[in-house]
Amino acid sequence: DPSSQAHVLNNTVCDNEGTGISVTGNGHHIYWNTICRNGRNAVDSGSGNTWDDGARCGNFWDDMTPGAVYLIPGTAGSVDHYPNGTLGTYTIPPSTTSVSWIGNDTTDGFPFGREAAMIVAAAGVSVTVAMAVIVRSRRRP
């Protein structure tokens, strides 16, 4: 007898040759998981399973189409209504990258390092900085 009512949250299911997640039970809640680079990311053959929280959080899929729901293969006809894309591969730029930044009278400082560059890259923004830089602007008396 298949299980029911499980909550599958905050897992990473990646790099499997077969199916990443295969659901045969009923009433499961599966969201906020990273599911990527599997032979097939997911299959749902159960019934009444949800692949998002019903409000705004789904799963992170490497093969999702931006702006569309994510259809889960299988007889259940399940849908992730709030899919997100997985983070791509991040390559650290060379350490010789230059930075130009101009502060004003209200600017005390602006730290920018590799961590900030990775966050910006994850947001899909072009990154041109990969070295720790601290610029300070002081007010004149």
Tens of each residue's pLDDT in the chain, 141 residues? 467 788 999 999 999 999 999 999 899 999 999 999 999 999 999 999 999 999 999 999 999 988 899 999 999 999 999 999 876 544 445 555 555 555 555 555 544 444 444 433 333 333 333 333 344 444 555
| pLDDT number for residue 104 | 56
| pLDDT number for residue 88 | 52
Strand pairing of 7-9 and 29-31? parallel
CA distance 73 to 79: 9
- Contact present, 44 and 76 (Cβ < 8 Å): yes
Element (H, E) at 117: helix 114-122
| pLDDT number for residue 131 | 36
What pTM does this model have? 0.61
Dihedral over Cα of 54, 60, 65, 71: its sign: negative
Q: Specify if 2 maps to a domain.
A: no
Q: Same domain for 67 and 100?
A: no
Distance of CA 89 to the CA centre of its chain: 12
- The gap between the terminal CA atoms of the chain, to the nearest Å, is 77
| Enclosing domain of residue 99 | 87-141
Q: Same domain for 13 and 48?
A: yes
Q: Specify if 16 maps to a domain.
A: yes
Q: Is 86 helix (H, G, I), strand (E, B) or coil?
A: coil
Final residue before a domain boundary, out of 40, 58, 85: 85
